[in-house]
Amino acid sequence: MEQVKTVELISVGTELLLGNIVNTNAAWLAEQCAALGLSCFYQTVVGDNEERLSAVLKTALERSDVVILSGGLGPTADDLTKETTAKVMGRRLLMDEPSRRHIQEYFQKKSMEIPENNWKQALIPENALAIENENGTAPGILLEEEKHIVILLPGPPNELLPMFTQRIAPYLASKTGGTICSRTIKICGIGESRVETIIKDIMQTQTNPTIAPYAKNGEVHLRLTAQAESKEQAEVMIQPMLEELQQRFGENIYTVQEEITLEQAVYHLLLEKEWSVCTAESCTGGMLAGRLINVPGVSQVFKSGYVTYSNQAKEEILGVEKELLETYGAVSSQTAEAMARGAAKTAGTQVAVAVTGIAGPDGGTEEKPVGLVYISCYCQGKVRTEKFQFKGSRAKVREASVASALILLRQCIR
Amino acid sequence: MEQVKTVELISVGTELLLGNIVNTNAAWLAEQCAALGLSCFYQTVVGDNEERLSAVLKTALERSDVVILSGGLGPTADDLTKETTAKVMGRRLLMDEPSRRHIQEYFQKKSMEIPENNWKQALIPENALAIENENGTAPGILLEEEKHIVILLPGPPNELLPMFTQRIAPYLASKTGGTICSRTIKICGIGESRVETIIKDIMQTQTNPTIAPYAKNGEVHLRLTAQAESKEQAEVMIQPMLEELQQRFGENIYTVQEEITLEQAVYHLLLEKEWSVCTAESCTGGMLAGRLINVPGVSQVFKSGYVTYSNQAKEEILGVEKELLETYGAVSSQTAEAMARGAAKTAGTQVAVAVTGIAGPDGGTEEKPVGLVYISCYCQGKVRTEKFQFKGSRAKVREASVASALILLRQCIR
């Protein structure tokens, strides 16, 4: 096939139909295909059933240039994606020598006997290309005809993702005439509706590039996408909108790089200032430290953290005074501040952030309801404490607290 | 329609086709429908496009009794699920008075003016039932014909979930002849392939009830499902298989209750023994404490935890000897044990669990590669330390470490 424009995804698996697993493969593949400039108009989920899969595949071939099937390449009799595809496309299945050898080596490496079933995975439709699977025994399959490209991928994400990225994406890129380029602006410290108001005029007139906001746990990401003939051209088209948005959101933007997380942005700020940080957590109980330690190399700025869930722990570890706890309570701006100061002193860091709150579902009162959280940030002698009233489950309150703590931390360091 | 057997899901939305969001609605609806005894053979994702949506809906009506569409009920011109459905089903759209009032009240409550667009949400297909939306302005729609039931639900999960649970599920239950009952057995401490070997004979002969294993972050869940005319009958059918599995897996089963998590099981064991626990974490950096604190009421058994990322923190907070760290290194069974002992002493708890390892991506050596993790559990004077070699990314290694620490903790307390 010379040039392809449309792609369709078929996910095969009973566990998807039963809702036992969420179809993350489809979302990931869709995003990758969009980035390659392919339009995806349909995604279908169907079970491991020859008749139904065959009907779905035929429909897809009628309306899309590229059809990507995932799942159902396993060794058991249930798995029939390859067999069904071969039948629909009118191809025989032949033993593929490299795939056979790969299966043999895979099991040898694990010092395991090869189950009889697995040999079936080395059968490949005639004139199709077998694609080596680095993380499993089922090879991918690439089948090009005059009017279609059909691609079969294994279902497990740890097999599908690298195979698509390394082998399928470059192949498809060579088959699409245009390309899409995306940039992400990550904003923190202002809510989604406020962000939408600020960009309303752009939203209303957008065509190419487009702009789309996504709210995500205390942050709002703006995704700019331009379509053009070349990547360079698309990048040039995005630039003016990117600059306009940088002006509008100013320091609320913590990064314009897709791969940078909020905790990484905080880490880079600390590195710049040559400061170290420590955490003192009550209701978030280690989650905030856990997020900071997501960052590889964080040991340069993070040495220790404290989970002080009980009042006694707050006294003994952070030196919060018993009187203060009795007067204002564990969930108060006074305690939050004392925790932050105490943590910085105990750990000997320039910066410390403390969280204390009522995550629920119990323990709330009229005066101090569930979701009330105080976050305090100590930074080189100065302290800033903020009060939050979050909504939702225990998990939601804790997650929102962690995000807010990172945002406050970023503001104070700056 | 008298009795329904099959259901099909159509998710409408460009953001799904672009892979910007994962289709969690489909997984959730599929699971709910399965529990109601409905078979789901197809799920489709299609964009906000009249022609394509209309084709997909027609296909669905040809092959399924119930069609559930979600998304595309918003106020903008893009949203055309309702309009397209009405056209396909040959029905006019009429203003629905209660829906109109609901929209009015919804905006009044928020002291907002009603945007002109929103009135369109009160239009309902002739002879269809509007279903009040407690969390938004778009009503759901229920359309029953002689051969089909078509249900339209709003896309946002916080609107879709309660509407389905409260209004659609009871309605569908009245239309299905049978019901399904599920039980989950949660197993820890043995791997997926070992679990599969143990249940191989049951797997091969299963019909009703069925058994399906799911591996999930260090645990394996077995889901038993029976189909019968009544819930009681289905429960009776499951019982013998449940007992057989309890015998086979013995104490590796930590619960047979769907809603109990591993951290909750550990919490209950600690409560029983009247012991308290503390954590000392290096590479997991607070995530283990964070998981324990997922449990509401955990303050009864958890008072404090330590994130000791640097060697200095291990020495100062946990009293790990400098010599020991220098001789064996921070990632060693000796350090893990000293961390656990030190944490129990510092916090004054009966139980302590310590984690130290190399989460990567850097910092690995030939002798101590990335993924090497030592976990030590101190329990009433006794210590048990285990060595693990995990695979995958930094996040994967840390998650696997947390799961293994909880499992070791459970074993030691027992």
Half-sphere exposure at residue A43, Cβ-oriented, CA atoms within 13 angstroms: 30
Q: For chain A, what is the largest distance between any 2 Cα atoms, rounded to a whole number of angstroms?
A: 82
A1 in any annotated domain:
no
B1 in any annotated domain:
no
Q: Is the dihedral of CA A94, A97, A99, A103 positive or negative?
A: positive
CB contact under 8 A, B303 and A313: yes
The pLDDT, as a whole number, for residue A130 is: 96
The pLDDT, as a whole number, for residue B204 is: 82
What's the CA angle centered on B385, arms B382 and B391, to 5 degrees?
Answer: 160
Chain B residues within an 8 Å CB radius of A288: 286
Q: Give the nearest partner residue to A28 out of B19, B41, B44, using CB atoms.
A: B19
CB contact under 8 A, B294 and A394: yes
User: What's the mean pLDDT in B195-221?
Assistant: 85
What six digits make up the tokens of A233?
């051209």
Q: Are residues A193 and A161 in the same domain?
A: no
What six digits make up the tokens of A310?
């009980």
Domain of B192, CATH number, reads: 3.30.70.2860
Is A140 a residue whose pLDDT tops 80? yes
Minimal-distance CA residue of chain B relative to A35:
B18
Q: Which of A134, A153, A173 is the last residue of a domain?
A: A173
Q: Which of residues 139-168 of A touch B (CB under 8 A)?
A: 158
Is A180 a residue whose pLDDT tops 90? no
B149 in any annotated domain:
yes
Q: Are residues B301 and B375 in the same domain?
A: yes
Q: Give the nearest partner residue to A18 out of B30, B56, B309, using CB atoms.
A: B30
Range of the domain at B67: 6-173
Q: Are residues B196 and B169 in the same domain?
A: no
Domain of A78, CATH number, reads: 3.40.980.10
Minimal-distance CA residue of chain A relative to B14:
A41
Torsion of CA A338, A341, A344, A347, to 10 degrees: -40
pLDDT in tens, A206-216: 778 888 777 77
Chain B residues within an 8 Å CB radius of A310: 299, 303-304
Q: Are residues A334 and A405 in the same domain?
A: yes
Q: Are residues B240 and B318 in the same domain?
A: no
The pLDDT, as a whole number, for residue B2 is: 72
Are the CB atoms for B199 and B192 separated by under 8 Å?
no
Q: Are residues B113 and B209 in the same domain?
A: no
Is B215 a residue whose pLDDT tops 80? no
Q: Are residues A27 and A124 in the same domain?
A: yes
pTM for this model (two decimals) = 0.77
User: What's the mean pLDDT in B205-218?
Assistant: 81
Check if A31 contacts B (Cβ < 8 Å): yes
Q: Which of B255, B279, B296 is the last residue of a domain?
A: B255
Check if A47 contacts B (Cβ < 8 Å): yes
User: What's the mean pLDDT in A226-249?
Assistant: 90
Q: Are residues B250 and B396 in the same domain?
A: no
Q: Which of A224, A255, A286 is the last residue of a domain?
A: A255
Is A336 a residue whose pLDDT tops 90? yes
CB contact under 8 A, B286 and A283: no
Half-sphere exposure at residue A144, Cβ-oriented, CA atoms within 13 angstroms: 10
Q: Are residues B231 and B303 in the same domain?
A: no
Q: Are residues A105 and A206 in the same domain?
A: no
Chain A residues within an 8 Å CB radius of B360: 296
Residue B329 pLDDT level (bands cut at 50, 70, 90): very high
pLDDT in tens, A351-393: 999 999 999 999 899 999 999 999 999 999 999 999 999 988 8
d(CA B162, CA B315): 52
Q: Give the nearest partner residue to A34 out of B18, B52, B394, using CB atoms.
A: B18
Does the ipTM exceed 0.90?
no
A234 or A62, which is more confident? A62
Are the CB atoms for A19 and B34 separated by under 8 Å?
yes
Q: Which of residues 257-296 of B touch A (CB under 8 A)?
A: 279, 281, 283-290, 292-294, 296
Chain A residues within an 8 Å CB radius of B297: 362
Check if B345 contacts A (Cβ < 8 Å): no
CB contact under 8 A, B17 and A41: yes
What six digits make up the tokens of A343?
């943590």
Cβ density class B250-280: b for 16+ within 10 Å, e for less: eebbbbeeeeebbbbbbbbbbeeeeebbbbb
Residue A256 pLDDT level (bands cut at 50, 70, 90): very high
Is A405 a residue whose pLDDT tops 80? yes
Check if A213 contacts B (Cβ < 8 Å): no
The pLDDT, as a whole number, for residue A87 is: 96
Chain A residues within an 8 Å CB radius of B394: 294, 296
The pLDDT, as a whole number, for residue B60 is: 97
d(CA B81, CA B83): 6
Check if A107 contacts B (Cβ < 8 Å): no
Domain of A380, CATH number, reads: 3.90.950.20
The pLDDT, as a whole number, for residue A218 is: 84
pLDDT in tens, B4-31: 999 999 999 988 998 888 999 999 999 8
Is A178 a residue whose pLDDT tops 70? no
Total domains present in chain A? 3
β-pairing, A6-12 vs A39-46, is parallel
B88 in any annotated domain:
yes
d(CA A307, CA B305): 5
d(CA B313, CA B317): 6
* DSSP H helices in B329-366: 333-347
User: What's the mean pLDDT in B103-128?
Assistant: 87
Q: Are residues A149 and A283 in the same domain?
A: no
The pLDDT, as a whole number, for residue B247 is: 97
Q: Are residues B316 and B350 in the same domain?
A: yes
> Which amino acid is residue B143, in one-letter code?
L
